[in-house]
Amino acid sequence: MQTPHHITSISALHKLMGLKKPVHPLVSVVDFSTVGPIILEQAYTYDFYMISLKKNYQGKLKYGQQYYDFDEGMMTFIAPHQVLRVDKDDGAAPDGHMLVVHPDFLRAYPLSGKIKEYGFFSYAVNEALHLSESEEQLIQETMINIDREIKAAIDTFTQDVVVSQIDLLLTYCNRFYHRQFITRKSSNNDLLIRLETLLSNYLNNEEMSQTGPPSVQYVAAQLNLSPNYLSDMLRAYTGLGTKQHIQNKLIEKAKEILTTTNLSVSEIAYQLGFEYPQSFNKLFRSKTNLSPSEYRESFN
């Protein structure tokens, strides 16, 4: 595996891209049309957030699980210390803009904590944000506004205004991701079918008593998705996150066993992979307002 090249500052990023030093050391907006031809084939990791809107990019990028081609207007989101691989870059600069912001710039603001809650910063490459023309224009205008504010005369309000604009930008992106979940129902339906098949096969496997209930991380990995994206998609489509979805399937399986076998509650708990029957009882009651024994009795 190639050791990533660590970019520690926004100034170092500007130097790598052949740009002048940034006006502000902790935040910058890069207009890709101003970037000269550069040949890159390297893995990188950064100490700052990178939010990019790219079009007409001739190379390939990899973050998450696979390579990604930017042949249309799409957005990617890189959090500090994530690895981005640039491969097969022919040196041609793409169109679009990129916002880079160091966590220290947000430190005194609520956005410092809020930004970590946006799941799209951990998305795999196949989960990049696809924009409509109007959405693309809105994102680009917001980035340009941030750039203008950074380059304007610095005063006591500059940081407040820039942070509020970044907050607005992320809110737009969150809205557009939610729209993407809704408008891509066909692919999501296919994904739901795969999820149902995966959980059904897992819950019917006799080895579950040894492996335990399926975890969110396991399910996401089997579907080649990041845990956050899978939960966001399920929540937008069904109102439940992945953990709740798995728990509901476990309870449905438990109900089936309770009503069709004479196994004790403890035996059922162990069959479903629970180390302690008390944990199974607690989950069952939280979902049904009945204990497993009370549920079984209601059918007798």
Task: Specify the CATH number for 186-297; select among 1.10.760.10, 1.10.10.60, 3.40.640.10, 3.40.50.970.
Answer: 1.10.10.60
Domain residue ranges in the chain:
5-182, 186-297
pLDDT of residue 38: 58
Confirm whether 5-182 and 186-297 share one CATH topology. Answer: no
- In tens digits, what is the pLDDT along the chain, a chain of 300 residues? 456 788 999 999 999 888 999 999 999 999 988 886 655 567 788 899 999 998 766 656 665 545 555 555 678 888 888 777 766 555 556 688 999 999 999 988 999 889 988 888 865 545 678 888 899 999 999 999 999 999 998 888 999 999 999 999 999 999 998 888 777 665 666 778 888 889 989 998 888 888 899 999 999 999 988 898 888 888 877 778 899 999 999 998 999 899 888 999 999 999 999 989 999 999 999 999 999 999 898 866
Measured distance CA(157)–CA(95) in Å, rounded: 31
86 and 45 Cβ atoms separated by less than 8 Å? no
Task: Specify the CATH number for 5-182; select among 1.20.20.10, 2.60.120.280, 3.10.129.10, 3.50.50.60.
Answer: 2.60.120.280
pLDDT of residue 72: 57
- Tell me the three state secondary structure of residue 66: strand
Which tens digits make up the pLDDT trace of 132-164?
889 999 999 999 999 999 999 888 899 999 999
pLDDT of residue 298: 83
